[in-house]
């Protein structure tokens, strides 16, 4: 995570945005007293939204927890894909 001010961001916007995308990290632009902006790559945003969707209902959350438990306990199996 990077933190900068509005004036520093304005001076070197391209470098800041390139760094956010290249390093898949967030940038916080401090705007003063308890105010700020968060900038993240589209890849990071899409990942965050997908996670939010997966955890949006209790049923999805339980399914995900069950899958993680199976993976961690080694009770998974491989299956060959059918190719046309």
Tens of pLDDT, residues 13-39: 999 999 999 998 899 999 888 889 999
Nearby residues of 16 by Cβ (< 8 Å), 6 or more positions away: 2, 4, 9, 27, 39
pLDDT at 20: 95
Q: What is the pLDDT of residue 32?
A: 82
pLDDT mean across residues, the chain: 90
Q: Is the pTM of this model over 0.85?
A: no
Give the Å distances, CA to CA, from 4 to 15, 22, 25, 81: 12, 17, 13, 48
User: Tokens 């993976």 appear where?
Assistant: 71
- Residue 53 — pLDDT band, cuts 50, 70, 90? confident
């Amino acid at each position: 995570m990077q933190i900068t001010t509005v004036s520093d961001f304005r001076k070197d916007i391209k470098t800041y945005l390139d760094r956010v995308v290249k390093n898949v990290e967030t940038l916080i632009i401090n705007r003063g007293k308890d105010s700020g902006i968060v900038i993240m790559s589209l890849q990071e945003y899409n990942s965050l939204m997908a996670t939010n969707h997966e955890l949006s209902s209790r049923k999805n959350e339980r399914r995900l927890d069950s899958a993680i438990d199976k993976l961690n306990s080694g009770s998974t199996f491989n299956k060959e894909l059918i190719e046309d």
